[in-house]
Amino acid sequence: MRDFVETWVERNREELIRVSDSVWEAAELGLVERKSAAVSQEYLRSQGFSVETGVGNMETAFVATWGKGKPVIGFLGEFDALPGLSNAPVPYPSPLGKNKPGHGCGHNLLGAAAMGGAIALKAFAEANGLEGTVKYYGTPAEESSFGKTWMVKAGAFDDADIVLTWHPGSTNGTDKTSSLADLVYKFDFYGKTAHAAGDPWNGRSALDAVELMNDGIERMREHIRPDSRIHYVITRGGGAPNVVPDYAQNFFDIRAKDMEELDRMWQWVEQIAKGAAMMTQTRVEPRFLGGAANLILNDVIIDTFQEILEELGPVQWTAEELEFAGKMQAQFDRHLIEQSIEQLRKQIPDLRETRLCSVIMPGDPEEKPGRGSTDVADVSWVVPTGQFRTACYTLGIPGHSWGVTACGGMSIGHKGMLLAAKTLGIAGARFLTDPGLRQAAWDEFKKRLNGKTYRSPIPEGIDTPPLPFEE
C-alpha cells in the first residue's frame, strides 16, 4: 500500500500543488472562504467524490464522500487564512496589500494534503476492490469560529470510524501534546455620544467600558491557573477624540486546560464585563463566536503516523531552498532562532542542518500539556482522531507570521505538503484494511474518555456561527 500511495501522490503532485496555490492566492478569512471551498470541492468532484455543502449552517463547510459501508475513514481539511499576514513567496517581508489576509498557519497546505491522502486512499480501495467509505471534511474558520465544533454539533462525524489529520510545521514528526479548551467572544459596549469638550456630561463612553474591562482582566490574570490563557484586542474604539464613543468592542480568546476550568473562567470574565458596563453606565452584549474543547490524544493513531514518517523519511532540500530559508532566518530575532535550534538539539544532538528540518524527529515518550487550541479537539471527543506535522517552513521562525505565509506559497511548503499527503494516504490504507488497528484505536479512545461524554462549547440556542471578521 505504501508504494501505491507514494506513486499516486507523485503522479498527482502538480494538481495538489495547484489546489494548494489556489487557496494560498485566495487567502480568505473564516466563514467566507468561498473561492477556497469552491476550488477544493471542484477537485474532489473531479476525482469521483460526492459533495454535501452548507454543513453545520456554514456556507463554506462541506463533506466529500466516496464509497459505501464500513469502515468510514475521514480526513480533516482546512482553508482559512489570518488577517494581515499576506506576503509574497520571498524570504523577506513583502505584503501583497494593506491588511490583506495570508496563510500564516499553512492551511492551504493542510487542506491540499488531506485531499491528496483521501483521494489516494480512494484510488487504493478501488484498485483492490475494498469495501469502505472515504470522507474529506472541508472545515472552515479554524482560526476564529472553530468550524469543526459546529460540524460536530451537526452530526457530521457520527458515522466515522477513524479521523486523520496533520498540520504544517517547521519539523517532521508527531507529538503527544494536548490542547487548551477555548471560548471566542466579542463584547459590544453601547454608550451615548456627546461632544467630548463641549458637553461630556451628556455622554457615556463605551471606550471607557472596554478599557475598564481590560483592566479587570489584567487583575484577574494573577489568579488564573498557570496553564490558562486570556488575550484580547480592541477592535472598535471610537472615531475621533473629540467625540464620546457610543460604541466600542473587545475581541477575546479565553483558554483553559479543560471545559470545567473554562466554565469557571468564563463566569468571571462575564462578571468583569458586566461590572465595567455598570461603572460607566453603558450596556454590554457578549457575542459568542466559537469554542473548542481540549484534545483527546490517541497513541495508536499517533504511533502509526510516526512509524510511516520514519519509513518515508524527510524531505530533501535543494541548495536554493536552503539559501531561501537562511535569508528568512536573518529577518527574525537571532536569539529566537538560536533558542529554537537549541531545543531541537536536545532531541537530536548531532543535528547538522539548521535552516530547514532534514530529519524525522523522534516521537514523544511522554505526554505534554498544550498551549494552543484547535477544533480538531472536538472531533477527538466523538471519534478516534490523530495528527502529525511535516516541515513546511523555516526552522525557528514563529507561527502565525509572514514567514509561514511566504514558505506556504513556494516549494518548501509544497514539499512538506506532499510528504503529508503520502503519510495520510498510507495511514488511511492501514486503518481501512486492518480491523485490529481500528479496534485498538477505539479501545484507547474509550479508555481515555473513561465514561466522560462530549459537551459542546456552543451555548444552547445558537445554531449558526456569526462572522468573526468584517467582510
470 pLDDT higher than 70: no
Q: Which structural domain range is residue 344 located in?
A: 2-179+295-449
Buried b / exposed e across 448-465, counting CB within 10 Å, b at 16+? eeeeeebebbbeeeeeeb
Task: Examine the domain organization and report whether 277 and 361 are in the same domain.
Answer: no
Question: Which DSSP string corresponds to 289-305?
Answer: EEEE------HHHHHHH
The pLDDT assigned to 364 comes to 84
Q: What is the pLDDT of residues 411-465, one digit of tens each?
A: 999 999 999 999 999 999 999 999 999 999 999 999 999 999 999 999 999 999 9
Domain assignment present for residue 458? The answer is no
Residue type, 207: L
251 pLDDT higher than 60: yes
What is the Cα–Cα distance from 108 to 449, expressed in whole angstroms? Answer: 32
| Phi, psi dihedral angles at 120 (to 5 degrees) | -65, -40
Which of 267, 292, 317 terminates a domain? The answer is 292
Non-local (6+) Cβ contacts of 48 within 8 A are 66, 122
Domain assignment present for residue 340? The answer is yes
Which of 292, 315, 339 terminates a domain? The answer is 292
The stretch 236-240 carries a mean pLDDT of 96
Peptide bond into 71 cis (omega under 30): yes
Task: Examine the domain organization and report whether 259 and 385 are in the same domain.
Answer: no
Cell readout for 282 is: 453603558
Specify the residue for cell string 487557496: 23
Domain assignment present for residue 264? The answer is yes
**How many domains are contained in the chain?**
2
Closest of 214, 351, 334, 227 to residue 275, by C-alpha: 214
Which of 292, 315, 345 terminates a domain? The answer is 292
Our CA angle for 113, 119, 122, nearest 5°, is: 145
- Bridge partners (DSSP) of residue 247 are 190
Neighbours of 1 (CB within 10 A): 18
Cell readout for 235 is: 477592535
471 pLDDT higher than 60: no
**Largest Cα–Cα distance in the chain?**
81
Report the DSSP pairing between strands 181-190 and 132-139: unpaired
Domain assignment present for residue 23? The answer is yes
Task: Examine the domain organization and report whether 341 and 352 are in the same domain.
Answer: yes
